[in-house]
């Protein structure tokens, strides 16, 4: 059964997973380093502005559920944090490097297409192409609430469907489909309005030209 995370908890675990690979010499992270990672203005969506106290509270809540380990230095009063969501002796969730990369990016940035995940995964894992992303997580994608990942209905303007994790609760795919349909309808309506405006402008130009010809002497 999947744990249910808040948005802040998801951001914290995503940051810890990311930094464990990209900056292993600085891992586990101090409270200050973790707060800075959570509040990065790049490679994060949405951008957050968390205070250290908020991060610390979320870490302690995660620690109580054995999703995070807190290393306390009683000599100087500092804490360092390690994730226990996956790939530890305490976690039921075991991911290979490709799956780990995809889940990390989804925790940090939300729903993304395989192409976006491949483009953004360079420091975590090297995918040969978009199909490699899809193949890597195929066994993790499902349609029920127990699946780690779900595939969302494709939205207008995108060649691929987005993937999303369900660690913040079940994803409402039907609501996403309705939103996509509304976007398609809105796009069609916008295109129709633009077409009508162009036709009106053309008719006005023709009318102005005709009136000018009628004013000209024979």
Helix (H) and strand (E) counts in the chain: 7, 5
125 vs 217, more confident: 125
Q: Is the pLDDT of residue 172 over 80?
A: yes
Whether the Cβ atoms of residue 173 and residue 153 lie closer than 8 Å to each other = yes
Q: What's the predicted TM-score (pTM) here?
A: 0.81
Which has the closest alpha carbon to 93: 21, 149, 55, 37? 149
pLDDT tier for residue 41 given thresholds of 50, 70 and 90: very high
Burial tier of 113 (Cβ tally within 10 Å: 0-12, 13-18, 19+): buried
Report pLDDT for 179: 64
- What sign has the CA pseudo-torsion 124, 126, 4, 153? positive
**pLDDT tens digits for 138-154?**
999 999 999 999 999 98
**Residue 29: beta bridge partners?**
81
Supply the CATH classification number for the domain 1-94. Answer: 1.10.10.10
From the CB of residue 198, how many other CB atoms can be counted at a distance below 10 Å?
10
pLDDT tier for residue 177 given thresholds of 50, 70 and 90: low
Q: Is the pLDDT of residue 126 over 60?
A: yes
Which has the closest alpha carbon to 124: 145, 84, 95, 163? 95
Residue 206's H or E segment, with its range, is helix 173-215
Q: Report the distance separating Cα 160 and Cα 155, nearest Å.
A: 8
Which has the closest alpha carbon to 119: 149, 110, 128? 128
**pLDDT tens digits for 80-103?**
999 999 999 989 999 999 999 999
Q: Report the distance separating Cα 206 and Cα 218, nearest Å.
A: 20
């Amino acid at each position: 059964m999947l744990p249910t995370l808040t948005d802040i908890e998801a951001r914290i675990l995503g940051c810890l997973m990311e930094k464990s690979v990209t900056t292993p010499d600085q891992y586990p992270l101090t409270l200050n380093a973790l707060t800075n990672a959570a509040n990065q203005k790049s490679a994060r969506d949405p951008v957050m502005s968390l205070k250290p106290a908020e991060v610390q509270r979320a870490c302690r809540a995660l620690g109580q559920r054995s999703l995070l380990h807190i290393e306390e230095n009683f000599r100087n009063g500092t804490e360092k944090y390690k994730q226990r969501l996956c790939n530890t002796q305490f976690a039921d969730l075991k991911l290979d490097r490709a799956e780990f990369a995809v889940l990390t990016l989804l925790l940090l940035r939300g729903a993304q297409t395989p192409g976006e995940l491949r483009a953004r995964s360079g420091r975590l894992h090297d995918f040969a192409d978009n199909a490699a992303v899809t193949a890597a997580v195929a066994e993790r994608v499902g349609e029920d609430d127990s699946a780690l990942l779900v595939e969302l209905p494709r939205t207008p303007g995108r060649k691929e469907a987005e993937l999303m994790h369900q660690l913040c609760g079940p994803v409402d795919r039907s609501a996403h489909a309705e939103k996509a349909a509304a976007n398609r309808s809105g796009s069609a309506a916008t295109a129709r309005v633009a077409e009508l405006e162009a036709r009106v402008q053309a008719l006005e130009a023709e009318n102005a030209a005709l009136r000018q010809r009628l004013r000209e002497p024979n």
